[in-house]
Structure 1
Amino acid sequence: MDSSPRPADAWRLQGPYVAARPPSSLSFSLACRRLAAALAFVPMLAFGQPSVDAELAATREMVRFVPGEALRRLGGIEAAARRAPVATRAEFLFLYSDAFRRAGDPRQALALADELVGHGRSQGNDTVLAKGELARSYALTALNDLPGAHVAAFESERRAAGIADIALRVQTIITAGQAFQEQGNYPAALPKFQAAVDLARTIEDDQVPLSMALNGLVLLLTDMRQYDKGWEVQAESMALAKRMRSRGRQAIALLSEYGLAMDSAQYDRARAALLETLKVVRQLGARQMEAATLANLADSYLKDREYPRAADYAQQAVAAATAVNETKYLAVARINLGQAYLNMGRVAEGRQQFEAGLALYEKGRNLPQLQVVLAEYGNALERAGDYRNAISAYHRERAISNELFAAQRQKAMLELQHKYDTEKKQRQIEALRQENRVKGAELDNRRLQQRIWWLLAVVFALAAVIVGLLYRKVRQANAQLEVKNLELKQQSTLDPLTSLYNRRHFQDFMRTHALAERRQQAAAGDELVGALFLLDVDHFKHINDSHGHAAGDAVLKTIAAGLRDTLRETDMIVRWGGEEFLAFLPAVPRCGLDEVARRILRGVSSQAIAYGDKTLRVNVSVGFAPYPLAPGGTPLSWERAVNLVDMALYMAKSHGRNRAYGIHGFNGLERTTLEAIEQDLEGAWRNGFVDMAVVQDEAAAAEAQSAPVAELPGMAA
């Protein structure tokens, strides 16, 4: 797992290394910010404070690399610094906040940043306010409040726009560019970084702002995948760091080179950059950077399947992270150590390290990262042959996926509601304006009636025309409102990518129609039943990582179209979430369930998906069962039925993929319980309590093996 240290400190934990993707641009951006904050500002010496200013100057680099020692030294001058003039006190509060943040106390860092902002407001000093907003942006980022961090970054740039401190202006422009970069708004971010580089070149006596601007531009170009331009800027950044004879700047440039090399698939160059970084940060005594670099080296050797060396570097990373109490890097190091142990056959030790790393992620409630790590854990256990724990890991990952999906769905609904409310308010305003116009017309008519009686007939005619136009406009407004309501209803029930029904529509349907469906099937007898089929695209993550998310979207849309052709118009097809699809067949012969599963497998695997100059083929794993399921004569709720089908799907995953596992019925329930079956479906099947079918499409599998298709990384797993 890649921890990817970044040039300024907030090296966020990244997902598992799969297809040479470097750590996210967000981590790069945050890192650049923090180093720049520690290095960019030259203190304004205050008369009568030479010792405080000298200590601040000596501590500036220390904040970046050894924040614990910096906190001790800054604490020793706190009383004197708080009595110092405005500029000296501002520099002290800025460095003190940064040191607390880097030492792992972002809340104290935010409190000091707020104090710095208050100090700037009380003095009416835009320079101090710009520093304070920068410090708030860094602290809020460490607290995972990115929206608040972005607001502070933009406010910092606004405050610094007219000040004389060019180095501070460069830093605020960089930070604003990084905020756009974190939002994925690259067209807005690129001009910011270019402006920062141009402005930094005008500073003759300080090369630090130019170094920061060049490094930030490298990170942005890496995220934009403009690798040729990225290497050009990286060469200038490295040459500048060497001219400055600064080990810290060289370490930062090496880390940018590592990220760029990883993203452009130059793995040997990336590892060489990491090894050189390790040498430099050890000379600097920067233990946090050392821990992150060791974790990345372990990940590099995991990728090359050199598991003993990966375990050695991971153990060193655990020791380094423990020494500085860095839970972020400790979690990554333990995950990498668990990977190495599992691949070396040391399953118990591997599980112990993985669980220790997962506990750190769960403590921090980093759900997206925890989902990625659990998927990685399940794959590692599956490769090690520990299928029971692999299935457990998959279920834990699925629970988090459902939680994230629900949050995203709620956000989308709130956005739709906000849009509807806005349009409703606009319509109300327009109606009020129209009403005022009507009232004005009526007043004018009364005046005309009082003054010119002989034009009364003309006035009535004009009023009739106006009323007719108004009536026509009202009808048009009502028609437009009806269209908008239909559009909102469609958006709330259909998945925007595949145009299939979404999970919410299916849940509403089952709540409304489940009882009616059961009565219809009871009347039809035992020959016709309902059925649930749950599909999951095999190795879908590899498609996204190897060919990009656009290729993944093309695969999902093609599968959706194929399911429409394979199934009947009366069957409900649902995008269940991510790469999962659910099909509900209201009436199908009980003896034909296996054939439906075989048609689905064959229909998906036989499709050739054209993407760019490549042809992709994918398979799915399927779990299915008749519906309603009635063990012991008591029908299960549709939720429990879907859960059993999901367990059958994961059995298909764990037994080789590209196959279907179907539940036909239950046996010997007097010797077990339904809860026990739900806990361990595979064990229940092997003990004879569950009647299950295994369906494979042998013809499609043979054709897929002989067809010349694009190779996906890790498909053999």
Structure 2
Amino acid sequence: MSRLHRARASRVALAALLLSFGLSGPAAVSASDSHDRQLDTELAQWERTGYNEPKEALQGLQALRSSRAEANRPDHALRIDYTIGRVQAMAGDMDEARRWADRLENRPGGQPLALLLRAEVQDRSGQPVKAGELAQQALADLDPGCPQETPTFQVKAGCDWRSTYTALRIVARAQSARGEPASAEVRLLRALELAQSAGDTFATLMVLSQLALNAQDLDQPAVAQQRITQALQLAQGDVGATVRLRIVESSMAALRNDTKSQLALLEDGLRLAAHTTARREVASMQASLADAYMHTQQPARAAMLARQALPVVQEFGDQKLERTLRHNLSVSLVLLRQFDAARREINRVIELARGDNDAVRRILQLRELGEAYAAVNQPREALRLYHEERSLSAETAQRKRESALRQLSHKYDIEARQRDLELARRQQALQDQELTNRRLAQYAGVGLAVLLGLSVVLMGVMLVRVRDTNKRLKANQSLLRAQSERDPLTELANRRHFLSVMDREAGDAFRGALLMIDIDHFKQVNDRHGHAAGDMVIREVARRISQAVRSDDLVVRWGGEEFLVFARTVAPSALQHLAERILSGIGSQPIAIAEGSLRVTASIGYGHFPLAPALLPQHWEQAVNWADMALYTAKSQGRNRAHGIEAVQAEDAQALSQVETDFEAACSRGLVRLQTLLGPEQPADGTH
């Protein structure tokens, strides 16, 4: 017997064994249902084989496609052809996968599977947002056939649960890439319900691992640990699944800044994978280890591992992992001062990401590159990446807020519709009562008068209730608007509120003072003391800033560890004293945290607008940018200080724009005169 037939025979036997241990449902099932489940299990096994051995899987699937038993079932033929296209995508042959999608589209019932296969191609090409759009279209036809509530023992006949499950996970990845983890969780829980209902252990543990990462994005570490523990319990004895879960565990450890655990998990996973034929799992482990070494200041080892993994990743056409590897390689090369080679890798990453809207990944890449350039004293490139990252972070944060507001608004809309339905029901009951009253009026006039009186009372009660309901609804809507403009951690105004103030009061002729404030070395606070301590520091700094400013000044949490003060009426001569009070207020006394106390300082950039001496009009966004550039100068010259813009030599708007374009050079040439204020002197034992 050939190796192919032996492999196929063993997998058929394994399929039957799996069916007997949890996939077969109740004992009394039809022959058709049994055949459907056996095919589903066999296709799932070929998919797993195809991840590392696509040629073997494609040969087995082609043999299955040609068998006489399957030729008489069009629905089975569709699922087999979809699986062939999916394995082609796993192998990196995207053109062949697209051809299989075209074939599916032209056959009865093949449209949703064609859309799903095209979504797979986009997802494996590193385009998660485009993939999510296609998968969402496929779900419109796939999901209605599946049960909407958890069944007692199995999915119902007519439900292509595996395709629906795959589409839900792709949509969830797209939502995570757009910075919408709350929406992604809804999709993943639905996928988990389907996998558990079908009794598929591997599918269940895979979606549990995705739920664990999503819980990390939602800042729910306990939930994330619970999910990954469930997945590991299911994976016992399955080396391939355990290796994949080690990668997920290491990602979670990295998010917790637990570098020791991250390296231990990756090295254990690499040890497990090395004793198998799982070349892709080995490459994935090498990629994750390269990332870990990059973040632990071992750029040479990171670059070596990235170069070892690249050939395998390119062989399988895994552009998503290739992007990660090349990014880690570019950061490592920057740290090794091999700038030309680093730029080539950066350009290759940009080329691979063309058309992708994965903002979360791009923000992380910009931050890591900026920190690397700053570490090797390349301030111009670091500043450019810093501004690009901040702009993209602001857009992503806005999308997160809008997503949360949409969900909250949807909740209130449902409650309003329920109230309307209840009102309509009561009004209908009232109308029915009136009809009854009319019939009774034929027999008793007195009874008519009584019933009419009762009707008037009921209508009055209803009107009062409707009025009260409308008042509560309006109050809830006002509260929602107010909450959307407050930062929940500090209770300060947020960026949304500041933008609304600027829309009302500012424009192209902004007047007043701006102070941009950034907590020094805040990342070290999170790394050394944890995010809970970081939150305590942010709250206390917000309180100290609020105490230092005047009652009519607006204090805004600008984002992360940054704050903005808008002083509408402060005189230019008094602005220096305001900056001194804020510096002293933040840095003069330590901040109490759970582990003891912590000394924290801040850097400030400030200016009074329009800028002296020309007093040229500026839009408020330009004013914010000037204060931001002064802040960056303060941080680059030692932190724990404030730099204020005293004067700018510019006769017209064009000259002012040129100074703004290259602020650092303008300062060097004396076109910008800065005022420097030093913060409180810190003790010799350090600040953190």
Whether 1:341 and 2:333 are equivalent positions in the alignment is: yes
Give the deviation of 1:585 after TM superposition.
Answer: 0.7
Aligned counterparts, 1:288-687, within 5 A: 288-415=280-407, 417-419=409-411, 421-433=413-425, 435-436=427-428, 439=431, 451-453=443-445, 465-466=457-458, 468-470=460-462, 472-514=464-506, 530-541=512-523, 543=525, 550-606=532-588, 609-610=591-592, 612-613=594-595, 615=597, 618-629=600-611, 632-669=614-651, 673-687=655-669
Structure 2 residue aligned with 1:276? 271
**Aligned mates of 2:16, 2:365 — CA distance in 1:** 39
**Aligned mates of 1:196, 1:507 — CA distance in 2:** 45
Query: What amino acid does structure 1 have at the position aligned with 2:549?
Result: L
**Aligned mates of 2:85, 2:290 — CA distance in 1:** 32
SS at match of 1:634: coil
User: Over residues 508-533 of structure 1, what are the superposed CA-to-partner deviations in whole Å (9 max), with x where a residue is unaligned?
Assistant: 32232238997xxxxxxxxxx72112
**Aligned mates of 2:18, 2:228 — CA distance in 1:** 32
| Shift in CA distance, 541/440, structure 1 to aligned 2, threshold 3 Å | farther
| Shift in CA distance, 603/477, structure 1 to aligned 2, threshold 3 Å | same
| Shift in CA distance, 652/96, structure 1 to aligned 2, threshold 3 Å | farther
Greater RCO, 1 or 2 (C-alpha within 8 Å, sep 6+): 1
Q: Give the RMSD, CA atoms, in angstroms.
A: 5.4
Give the deviation of 1:383 after TM superposition.
Answer: 0.9
Query: What amino acid does structure 2 have at the position aligned with 1:621?
Result: S
User: Over residues 125-154 of structure 1, what are the superposed CA-to-partner deviations in whole Å (9 max), with x where a residue is unaligned?
Assistant: xxxx9x999989967865445695796689
User: Over residues 562-596 of structure 1, what are the superposed CA-to-partner deviations in whole Å (9 max), with x where a residue is unaligned?
Assistant: 33222222111223334432221111121222222
Query: What amino acid does structure 1 have at the position aligned with 2:51?
Result: R
**Aligned mates of 2:201, 2:425 — CA distance in 1:** 56
Q: Which moved more, 1:389-398 or 1:496-505?
A: 496-505
Confirm or deny: 8 A CA contact 1:291 1:329 kept in the other structure.
Answer: no
Give the deviation of 1:678 after TM superposition.
Answer: 1.7
Give the deviation of 1:387 after TM superposition.
Answer: 0.4
Give the deviation of 1:390 after TM superposition.
Answer: 0.7
SS at match of 2:51: helix
**Aligned mates of 1:506, 1:339 — CA distance in 2:** 36
User: Over residues 534-563 of structure 1, what are the superposed CA-to-partner deviations in whole Å (9 max), with x where a residue is unaligned?
Assistant: 223444455556666555444443333333
TM-score, normalised on structure 1? 0.70
Query: What amino acid does structure 1 have at the position aligned with 2:545?
Result: L
| Shift in CA distance, 505/251, structure 1 to aligned 2, threshold 3 Å | closer
Q: Which moved more, 1:288-297 or 1:184-193?
A: 184-193
Q: Which moved more, 1:646-655 or 1:372-381?
A: 646-655
| Shift in CA distance, 316/217, structure 1 to aligned 2, threshold 3 Å | same
| Shift in CA distance, 429/82, structure 1 to aligned 2, threshold 3 Å | same
Confirm or deny: 8 A CA contact 2:610 2:616 kept in the other structure.
Answer: no
Aligned counterparts, 1:41-440, within 5 A: 62-67=49-54, 70-71=57-58, 84-86=71-73, 89=77, 92-104=80-92, 143-144=128-129, 148=135, 162=154, 237=235, 240-241=237-238, 248=240, 251-252=243-244, 255=247, 265-267=260-262, 269-276=264-271, 279-280=274-275, 284=277, 286=279, 288-415=280-407, 417-419=409-411, 421-433=413-425, 435-436=427-428, 439=431
SS at match of 2:71: coil
Q: Which moved more, 1:680-689 or 1:427-436?
A: 427-436
TM-score, normalised on structure 2? 0.72
Confirm or deny: 8 A CA contact 1:290 1:320 kept in the other structure.
Answer: no
| Shift in CA distance, 101/156, structure 1 to aligned 2, threshold 3 Å | farther
Q: Which moved more, 1:82-91 or 1:131-140?
A: 131-140
Confirm or deny: 8 A CA contact 2:374 2:382 kept in the other structure.
Answer: yes
| Shift in CA distance, 517/257, structure 1 to aligned 2, threshold 3 Å | closer
Query: What amino acid does structure 2 have at the position aligned with 1:84?
Result: A
**Aligned mates of 2:43, 2:417 — CA distance in 1:** 55
Query: What amino acid does structure 1 have at the position aligned with 2:628?
Result: D
SS at match of 2:552: coil
Q: Which moved more, 1:388-397 or 1:325-334?
A: 325-334
User: Over residues 24-68 of structure 1, what are the superposed CA-to-partner deviations in whole Å (9 max), with x where a residue is unaligned?
Assistant: xxxxxxxxxxxx9xx97989999xxxxx99x98996554110436
| Shift in CA distance, 317/221, structure 1 to aligned 2, threshold 3 Å | closer
**Aligned mates of 2:67, 2:430 — CA distance in 1:** 72
Of 693, 697, 700 in structure 1, the residue corresponding to residue 675 of structure 2 is: 693
| Shift in CA distance, 160/81, structure 1 to aligned 2, threshold 3 Å | farther
Give the deviation of 1:285 after TM superposition.
Answer: 6.9
Structure 2 residue aligned with 1:4? none
Confirm or deny: 8 A CA contact 1:174 1:213 kept in the other structure.
Answer: no
**Aligned mates of 1:62, 1:643 — CA distance in 2:** 54
Give the deviation of 1:424 after TM superposition.
Answer: 4.6
| Shift in CA distance, 220/72, structure 1 to aligned 2, threshold 3 Å | same
| Shift in CA distance, 80/677, structure 1 to aligned 2, threshold 3 Å | farther
| Shift in CA distance, 75/310, structure 1 to aligned 2, threshold 3 Å | same
| Shift in CA distance, 153/389, structure 1 to aligned 2, threshold 3 Å | farther
SS at match of 2:557: strand
SS at match of 1:375: helix
Please, which runs of 5 or more residues in structure 1 have no aligned partner? 1-35, 47-51, 123-128, 201-208, 519-528, 712-717
**Aligned mates of 1:409, 1:186 — CA distance in 2:** 16
Confirm or deny: 8 A CA contact 1:537 1:619 kept in the other structure.
Answer: yes
Query: What amino acid does structure 2 have at the position aligned with 1:93?
Result: D
**Aligned mates of 1:270, 1:507 — CA distance in 2:** 45
Give the deviation of 1:316 after TM superposition.
Answer: 2.5
SS at match of 1:673: helix
User: Over residues 134-193 of structure 1, what are the superposed CA-to-partner deviations in whole Å (9 max), with x where a residue is unaligned?
Assistant: 98996786544569579668976879954799xx99999999999999867999989998
SS at match of 1:269: helix
Confirm or deny: 8 A CA contact 1:624 1:645 kept in the other structure.
Answer: yes
Task: Give the count of matched residue pairs.
Answer: 627
| Shift in CA distance, 134/457, structure 1 to aligned 2, threshold 3 Å | closer
**Aligned mates of 1:409, 1:229 — CA distance in 2:** 26
Give the deviation of 1:252 after TM superposition.
Answer: 4.5
Please, which runs of 5 or more residues in structure 2 have no aligned partner? 1-10, 20-30, 33-38
What percentage of residue pairs aligned between the two structures are identical?
29
**Aligned mates of 2:248, 2:506 — CA distance in 1:** 57
